[in-house]
Structure 1
Amino acid sequence: MTEHRAIEAAERGAAVMVAAGMPRMPARVMMALIAAPEGGYTAGELCERLGVSAAAVSGAVRYLQQLHFIQRRTVPGERRERYVLLEDAFYRSVVDNDPVYTRAAAILDDMAAELDDDPAAQQRAADIAGFMRFLARRMPQLIDEWAVERASHPGH
């Protein structure tokens, strides 16, 4: 893929991440790092590639580091640090959020119990709590299925 087409693909990927709720600049930086060469990019290279300011990259990098999607690395012989996408970042984000579904279900159950004077609101809270419990139950199975799929189709 030519560099121009890779940049366009990364921008389309960033648009999808933005539509899913990620802030625009972190989404752009993350997609640029997915398409990065071995060793990632320096902050300056990200600025140049994305056509944005150092402040924009700095904020995006900080956000992505907090989510454990990217890592700052030093390269021997280089003065500038490089940013790389962490191995299995997406996988880990799903795995790490598994307990959140159980906690959210418990909170929503408590809400439903408190909403006994409003049956419609009580039902909404109960339905979402049920969905969260479903995710908590299914997530380990999906993760196991992914491990099998990934092992049987390396590189896909």
Structure 2
Amino acid sequence: MTEHASPEHSAREHRAIEAAERAAAIMAGAGMPRMPARMMMALVAAPDDGYTAADLADRLGVSAAAISGAARYLQQVHFINRRTLPGERRERYFLIMASFYHSVAQNSPVYERSADELENIAKEMDEDAAARSRALEIASFFRFMAKRMPLLIQEWEAERG
């Protein structure tokens, strides 16, 4: 982080931090643990040389232990990596951009298994037409998602490239 930031840069950085916090809150609301979401969003706005654990702790106003736990989670889901830059001793954290896209596509088996179980629910609800219909509709939606996710990733990669 820059020690002698201009007031304009400082204001921009402050707005970026606020936006990152709002994005992290949305991700946490969708089920991602709060601290990993905050760390991931901070890394979205990181400089090209990434952030050290100390940079992240300072930026997020949290302890080194909080950064360590969040980093462990984000590494397990393959959203970040850490490496030492030439000439440095401290590790830096970086986002793995392709992981976002592929983690979404990897949910296809979850959608398929969920659809199977929803169809099992529907089979047990023969006498309750409304419940049966709900279960089958959600199962159909999950099968649609399972089929479309890999195609959407391919479309996104083609659009990007």
1:24 alignment partner in structure 2:
34
C-alpha displacement of 1:47: 0.3
Secondary structure in structure 1 of the residue aligned to 2:106: helix
The 2-side partners of 1:138 and 1:10 are apart by 29
- How well do the aligned residues superpose, as a CA RMSD in angstroms? 1.9
1:57 alignment partner in structure 2:
67
Q: Structure 1: where are the runs of 5+ without partners? A: 152-156
The answer to which of 90-99 and 30-39 deviates more is 90-99
Alignment pair present for 1:83 and 2:93: yes
2:15 alignment partner in structure 1:
5
Tell me the TM-score normalized by structure 1: 0.85
Which of the numbers 35, 50, 74 marks the counterpart of 2:84?
74
Residue by residue over 1:70-108, the C-alpha shift from the partner in whole angstroms, topping out at 9 and shown as x without a partner, is 112222332222111112222111122122212221122
Aligned pairs, number: 151
Secondary structure in structure 2 of the residue aligned to 1:88: helix
C-alpha displacement of 1:20: 2.0
User: Kindly, what percent of the aligned residue pairs are identical?
Assistant: 66
Secondary structure in structure 2 of the residue aligned to 1:77: coil
Tell me the TM-score normalized by structure 2: 0.82
1:126 alignment partner in structure 2:
136
Secondary structure in structure 1 of the residue aligned to 2:62: coil
2:6 alignment partner in structure 1:
none
Radius of gyration: which is bigger?
2
Residue 108 of structure 2 contacts residue 147 of structure 2 at CA under 8 Å; is this kept in 1?
no
